[in-house]
Each structure stands twice: as C-alpha cells, then as structure tokens.
Copies of this chain bind each other. A is one copy, B any other.
Amino acid sequence: MAAGPSRRQPTLDEVAEHAGVSRSVASRALNNAPHVSRAKREAVQRAVRRLGYVPHPAARALATRQTGAAALVVSGEDPSIFADPFFAEVIVGASAALDEADLHLMLCLAASDRGRKRVEELLRCRGADGVMLMALREDDPLARLAEEADVPVVFGGRPVGPAPRHYVDVDNTGGARDATEYLLAQGRRRVATLCGRLDTEAGRARYRGYRDAMLGAGLEPLPPQEGDFTEPSGAGGMAALLSRHADIDGVFAANDNMAAGALRTLRTAGRSVPDDIAVAGFDDLAVARLADPPLTTVHQPVRALGREMARMLVALVDGQDPTPLILPTRFVVRASS
C-alpha cells in the first residue's frame, strides 16, 4: 500500500530486453537450465536484480502444470478439532520440509460442507501439486476422492480400512501397549482405558494396544470407554468409568487431553493420582507437562510426523514411490503413574 507506485511487476520479456537476450535465454538462465552462456546468464541475473523481477506464479503454473503448493487437509465436522495443538506441531514439521522443497503450504479445514466441496475442487483441478490428508474418519468421503484424484496423496495417520498406498503414521498400538504394560508392571490390575474415537484408526489401534497388553498379562480388558480425544470427553469418560468400576486402579487414556480430563474428574472425586489410580496418556504435548500431576504418557514425534508427510509428498511429486512410514513412539514416565 503506502503511496507505492503501483507500477506493474516487470515481466520476463522486460528482463530479457534489459539483458539484451531473448525470452528463452532469460527463462533458461532463471531456471538454471543448460545452454546459456556464462555472459548472458550473468546479464540476466543483473537485469533480474535491477528490475526486482519475480516470476509470476500463475503464469508459471499454467505453463508447467505445477502449482508450487502442497495442501494439508484436516477433516472433521467440527473445526474445533483443529484447535488441538497436535496439528500445530504437524504443521511446523510439514512447513519446514515444504520450505526445503520450495513448496507453499495451503491449509484446508474441511469442516463445513462448503469447505469439503472446496477440497474436492482442489483435488480435482490440481489446485495443489500434492495433498496431505489428516484426521479422516471411517467412510470419510475425502478418502475416496483423494484416491480417485489425479494428484499425489499422503495420509497422515492411517485411515480406517485398507491401508492407502502412501501414509505416515506412528506406532499407535505399540505405544498403547507399552503404556498399559507399564501400568500392569506397577502392580495395577484393574486397568481401564479411555479410548479415542473408534471410527478413527488411531482410536482403534490404541485400544488394540491396551487390549493386547491386558490379554498378554492374562487379564480381561475392560470394555472401552469411548471419547473423542477432547478434555471434556476424558473427564466425562472417567466419571462413567468410576461409576461402573469403582475399583479400577489404572487408566490408559488415548491421548493427553483425555488424560487431563480424567485427572480433573479424579481430583474432584477425591481419588489421589497415582496412589489410588495411575494415569497414562498419549501424545506428550505441552498439556502432559502442565498437568498436575505431570502425565506419564506415550511420546509421539508429532513434528517429525508432519515433516515426514511432507517429505513423502515431495518424493511422490518428484515421481518416486516411497513406502509407508511408521514412526516409533517413546514411553515417558512422569508423576501420574
């Protein structure tokens, strides 16, 4: 804005003219392509600097059929799901990796119908060179659309159902098993789980980990108390759990939010943590450290998840065929167990 002389941006033709070369040569020089003499290459570079030339992305996109952008789509009918700091970390990782590949990041919160429609268009018209898909639920129409679209797609977290060709996930089952086994090793016997949405693969996989650990110890798994990965659902779930099984002495929550909710309910109920009941979570985001007591939890490398999704997408865009990636989790003991 300002009193800025709103003069048109210089075009490649003008650069070429100033450098005394043809448009073709200027273009080649700009893209570090061969077949340009040293002298002309430098002349072009000088002209670029002098004129403050910046290539027009749309023109380039039209000619190359590449947009120079990757999209991160977060599904879910409620936009609040995105407020989970989990996604912020994913974005930090993805953004860094995309920066390295000189790709811009488009963020699509496919919450409203309108939002979903726009994502659909994006997929079909190649509005981005590639798409990262997250937080899909069972039968999410986005999954089918993505598979059909003629665009590289990477899933962040396996969707429910058959595994897609390209995805990055963390070892949900292993992490949940580790956590539950730890609780059992501490001598807890009545261990329940506040599981996450069972229409997500993460929710299911973490529940499987809990169940496997229980069965492995010769114990009967308690029926899952399902929540939606939010703090209130953890608090409510914990209350339900207490009323059904007054004698539980351990809880594995499918994420830290829910574990924090459980802590709140337990505090209200006068149960002491970890003396009466041990609590373990999953994620190891900021809330785990801030909770009182600090949460024993399964650390998942969220930033790396974002980074690896982006890298896989870049590889895909480059015509490679990367294999799915499962990132390891790390069990972290704090005061809640």
> Given A1-B153, A82-B91, A118-B99 in contact, is the A126-B9 Cβ separation under 8 Å?
yes
Cα distance A106–B70 in the bound complex, in angstroms: 10
Contact between A114 and B92, CB atoms less than 8 A apart: no
Smallest Cβ distance from A161 to chain B, in angstroms? 14
State in angstroms the CA–CA spacing of A125 and B106 once bound together: 17
A200 CB–B CB distance under 8 Å: no
Q: Is the CB of B104 within 8 A of A108?
A: yes
Using Cβ atoms and an 8 Å threshold, which residues of chain B touch A165?
1
Assess the B54–A62 pair: CB atoms within 8 A: no
A136 to chain B, nearest CB (A): 16
Contact A147:B104 (CB < 8 A) given known A95-B109, A96-B112: no
A152 with B59, Cβ < 8 A, contacts A82-B88, A88-B83 known: no
Are A147's CB and B2's CB within 8 A? yes
Q: Known interface pairs A1-B152, A52-B124, A99-B118. Does A92 touch B83 (Cβ–Cβ under 8 Å)?
A: yes
Indicate if A80 sits at the interface (CB-CB under 8 A): yes
Within 250-300 of A, Cβ neighbours of B (below 8 Å) are at 260, 264, 267, 286-287, 289-292
State whether the Cβ of A139 lies closer than 8 Å to any Cβ in chain B.
no
Q: Is A42 among interface residues, defined by CB-CB distance under 8 A? A: no
Q: How far, in whole Å, are A82 and B89 apart by their CA atoms in the complex? A: 8
Interface digits, A52-92 against B, CB 8 Å rule (1 contact, 0 not)? 10111111011000010100000000011011110111011
Q: How far is the CB of A214 from chain B (nearest CB, A)?
A: 29
Contact pick for A107, options B4, B58, B105, CB 8 Å = B105
Asked whether any CB of chain B lies closer than 8 Å to the CB of A148, the reply is yes
| Cβ-closest chain B residue relative to A118 | B99
Distance in Å: Cβ of A170 to nearest Cβ of chain B = 18
What distance in Å separates the Cβ of A271 from its nearest Cβ neighbour in chain B? 15
A227 proximal to B (CB < 8 A)? no
Q: List chain B residues, Cβ under 8 A from A267.
A: 292
**A220 in the interface, Cβ–Cβ < 8 Å?**
no
Additional pairs, 7, CB under 8 Å, beyond known A57-B127, A83-B85: A1-B149, A2-B148, A57-B67, A95-B108, A102-B118, A104-B106, A105-B108
Subset of 12 A-B contacts with CB under 8 Å? A1-B150, A9-B125, A82-B92, A83-B89, A85-B85, A88-B88, A95-B107, A96-B112, A100-B114, A107-B107, A290-B291, A292-B292
Residue positions of A touching B, CB distance < 8 A: 1-2, 4, 6, 9, 52, 54-59, 61-62, 67, 69, 79-80, 82-85, 87-89, 91-92, 95-96, 99-100, 102, 104-109, 111-112, 114-115, 118, 121-122, 124-127, 147-150, 152-153, 165, 231, 260, 264, 267, 286-287, 289-292
